[in-house]
Amino acid sequence: MIAVERTTTISATAETIWATLADFAAISAWASNVDHSCLMTEQTEGVGMVRRIQTDGSTIIETVERWEPAVALGYRISGLPPVIKSLTNTWNLVESGSAAAPITRVVLTTEIDAGPRPPQQLIAKAVGKRLGSASEQMLSGLAARVEARMNEGAA
C-alpha cells in the first residue's frame, strides 16, 4: 500500500471547515477537478453515505467509512481500473491557534493498494503521484471555499 499525504493550513476553525467537507454532495462546487457530484443515497451524513462524482470523463463512487465531525472524513473510492485493489481518501482536521485567531491544519491522505508485487507497487506509486496533484487541487479549492464563506458571513 502506498500513502500520499498533502497538507494545507486554513485560518478557520475545524468546525467551519467541516461544514464544507460534510456537505458531501457539493464537492464539485469547490474542487476544480470534480466536474459533477451528487448523493446516491437519501442519507445526508455519516458512515454509509454515498456520492457519485465525475472527473476527467470518469465516474467514481465514494462511500463514507469514517465520519467524525470537525475531526475526520474518510471514504472508499470505487469505479477505478481493476489494477487498483483499493483506494481511500481521509481528511483530517487539526485545530490550533486561539479562539480569536483559529488555525486548522487540513491533511488529505490517499491510500492506494495495487497489490504487493513490485510491478503493482510501481502502479500504485504512479497513481499516487497523479492523485497527489489532485489532492493539492482539492485542498486549494477547500481553502478558497471556506475563506469565501467566511467573507460572506462577515459582510
**How would you write the pLDDT of the chain (155 residues) with one tens digit per residue?**
899 999 999 999 999 999 999 999 999 999 999 999 999 999 999 999 999 999 988 899 999 999 999 999 999 999 988 889 999 999 999 999 787 889 999 999 999 999 999 899 899 999 999 899 999 999 999 999 999 988 887 54
End-to-end CA distance of the chain: 46
pLDDT value, residue 152: 83
The answer to whether 20 and 125 have CB atoms below 8 angstroms apart is no
Task: Give the relative orientation of helices 14-22 and 118-154 as an angle to the nearest 10 degrees.
Answer: 110
Buried b (16+ CB within 10 A) or exposed e, 16-32: bbbbbbbebbbbbebbe
HSE of 23, CA atoms in CB hemisphere, 13 A:
14
CATH superfamily placement of domain 2-21+64-154? START domain (3.30.530.20)
pLDDT value, residue 9: 97
**Sign of the CA dihedral with 139 first, then 140, 145, and 148 last:** positive
Instruction: Report domain extents, the chain.
Output: 2-21+64-154
Instruction: Report the run of H or E that residue 25 belongs to, with start and end.
Output: none
Q: Which residue has 467524525 as its cell numbers?
A: 68
pLDDT value, residue 22: 97
Against a cut of 0.85, is the pTM above it?
A: yes
Rounded distance between C-alpha atoms, residue 133 and residue 146, angstroms? 20
